[in-house]
A = this chain, B = another copy of it.
Amino acid sequence: MSAQNSRSAVEPPSARTRVRKSERADYDRAVIDAILDEALTCHVGFAVDGQPYVIPTIHARIEDRLYVHGAPATRMLRVMRGGTPVCVTVTLLDGLVMARSAFHHSMNYRSVVVLGNATVVEDPDEKLAALRVIVEHIASGRWVDCRRPNPKELAQTQVLSVLVSEASAKVRTGPPVDDDADHDLDVWAGVIPLRLSASAPVPDPLLRPALTAPDYAVNYERSR
């Protein structure tokens, strides 16, 4: 694999999070945290009677803890709070890699896999801090603008945390890597960059006319 895919790496914390293609692996916490923080959603994996489930949800991080939340009755939260092993994966898709050969087509991406067990956040301060960071994860500045949760809403919301300890990142960047023999082919090769983009905010039809959209809604991408 080519040099542009290599990353500085330290020893992985476990055989379970070791990435097979080592030149794409990264076990550095700063890299892992940056990917976790940029991704708006994660996919949580858990198993029930041997059947895995993968559920998309929003997450947010405070230091070495990832937080997810939901109604206590959801299957995801019911299973997670039982202490079962979980896997939280986030993926940022950065580009489509078009090689000259079908075989070497790929994607540029940054992904993180976190293995662990979830803990119910019982402490009221930690719970409120987690909900704050989840709302702020959607848009920085939103927490102070909106009505914060009242006691009834807090009771209807469960927050769980997973320690970011057994984790790995996988990153692919750069152009396609074709076989030398294919470079003479009459086939265009390159990367189509992809990103999640925001368009103009759509006001709630019930919005009072005097209220204008905040900067983080009008200039969402710039404000992140």
* CB <8 Å contact, A41 and B191: no
Taken residue by residue from 180 to 224, chain A's Cβ proximity to chain B (1 for < 8 Å, 0 otherwise) reads as: 001111111111111111111111111110011110010010000
Q: How far is the CB of A155 from chain B (nearest CB, A)?
A: 11
Known: A146-B100, A188-B145, A214-B188. A43 touches B202 (CB 8 A): no
Known: A93-B41, A190-B203, A202-B191. A146 touches B99 (CB 8 A): yes
Provide the residues of chain B in CB contact with A191, threshold 8 Å. Answer: 201-202, 204
Cβ of A82 within 8 Å of any chain B Cβ, yes or no, is no
Cβ of A123 within 8 Å of any chain B Cβ, yes or no, is no
A-B contacts, 16 listed (Cβ < 8 Å): A43-B89, A45-B53, A45-B87, A47-B50, A50-B85, A54-B54, A96-B139, A98-B142, A105-B135, A147-B182, A175-B204, A175-B205, A183-B208, A190-B204, A191-B202, A192-B217
In addition to A20-B73, A186-B211, 13 A-B residue pairs with Cβ atoms within 8 Å of each other are A43-B45, A45-B87, A47-B47, A52-B86, A98-B217, A99-B146, A102-B142, A102-B143, A102-B147, A105-B138, A176-B204, A192-B201, A196-B196
